[in-house]
Amino acid sequence: MGVDAVTVRVVVAREAAAGERRVALTPDVVGRLQAAGLDLVVEAGAGVAAGFPDADYEKAGATVVPAGSGLGHAEVLAAVGLPDVSGLRAGQVVVGLLQPLLRPQLMEELAGRGVTVVSLDGLPRTLSRAQSMDALSSQANAAGYKAVLVATEHFARYLPLLITAAGTSKPAEVLVLGAGVAGLQAIGTARRLGAVVRAYDVRPAAKGEVQSLGAQFVELTSVGPAAGEGGYARALSAEEQAAQQAELAGHIARHDIVITTAQVPGRRPPELVTADAVAAMRPGSVLVDMGASELGGNVAGSRPGEVVVTPGGVTIVGAGDLASRLATSASAAYARNLTALLGHLVADGELHVDLDDEITAGVVVAHGGAVVHPATAALLHPQPSEASS
């Protein structure tokens, strides 16, 4: 199928971020896109790092164009992370996990250029009809699974109980901090590998989910329930966070592996594991910080994309890129999420932006020359009470 066969052309460019191996759309969704009235154009090599060669796209019916030339063909530019948006022009659409709360000025610039910006970060995750579009959950699921495998790479012992002729190896003890999608997948994976698993979360509803996976739930007496909006935990006050850190430290010290998953959209992740808590861990222990980013992390001393070994022999893995390390599975899931969202937004060969629709209002950041996403707009033009708080 050529690039002029249908009205809406979706272009997949090679990811711009260093080390990003995922691809936004995979060959298996080409047929569904075509059925929805979209044609897929792929820049050469866009899917190679995720295990999807150009020939697979062509066999599925997509068009492959030279690398760097896709933007000229696009009505919709599809990406995982933020792509190169310097050449986007009025009337074009960019869609991905764009983290608009971290780059509101760029969102405003794109709006001023007449670009429609769609970010899956803002999808209302509590809507049942939006579940097939929930890219944050699908990528967190991949990351939670990979977190346990990364931990085992740096842990010099077996995870399960092993009784052999050479003696008995006791099971590793794993603590997962945060029982959202990533945390629950980490719990399940560690349990399947035979570890003794415990987990903590500030949301009361998480206890039943943790126990259903066969893990023990850690309850703190110093911090009350902290359920927030949209399925996230709310940010703790400074006093609550200090009390949480102090009580968690004792639990952290007796575990061999600690996996942290706490993130707050658009903000610095909470520090759950202090420097003192790290120092109290046994030599050979491993910390995997899934919250590690340029904004900070859940573990004192973690650095995104790096492995740090402390003087006390504790390994800290700054692992904010775990979904990318599971690129084939993560890309396949993301492609299905994105295909479902495009099917929701595109009808009769045209993009329809109905801001009265909950899903559309959640994901559309800029449209019609303006930033229309309330949270992003509030960062650009804070009200007096917000500016002084």
Catalytic machinery residues:
125, 131, 134, 137, 232
SS (H, E, C) the chain: CCCCCCCEEEEECCCCCCCCCCCCCCHHHHHHHHHCCEEEEEECCCCHHHCCCHHHHHHHCCEEECCCCHHHHCCEEECCCCCCCCCCCCCCEEEECCCHHHCHHHHHHHHHCCCEEEEHHHCCCCCHHHHHHCHHHHHHHHHHHHHHHHHHHHCCCCCCCEEECCEEECCCEEEEECCCHHHHHHHHHHHHCCCEEEEECCCCCHHHHHHHCCCEECCCCCCCCCECHHHCECCCCHHHHHHHHHHHHHHHHCCCEEEECCCCCCCCCCCCECHHHHHCCCCCCEEEECCCECCECCECCCCCCCEEECCCCCEEEECCCHHHHCHHHHHHHHHHHHHHHHHHHEECCEECCCCCCHHHHHHEEEECCEECCHHHHHHHCCCHHHHHC
The number of residues making up the chain comes to 389
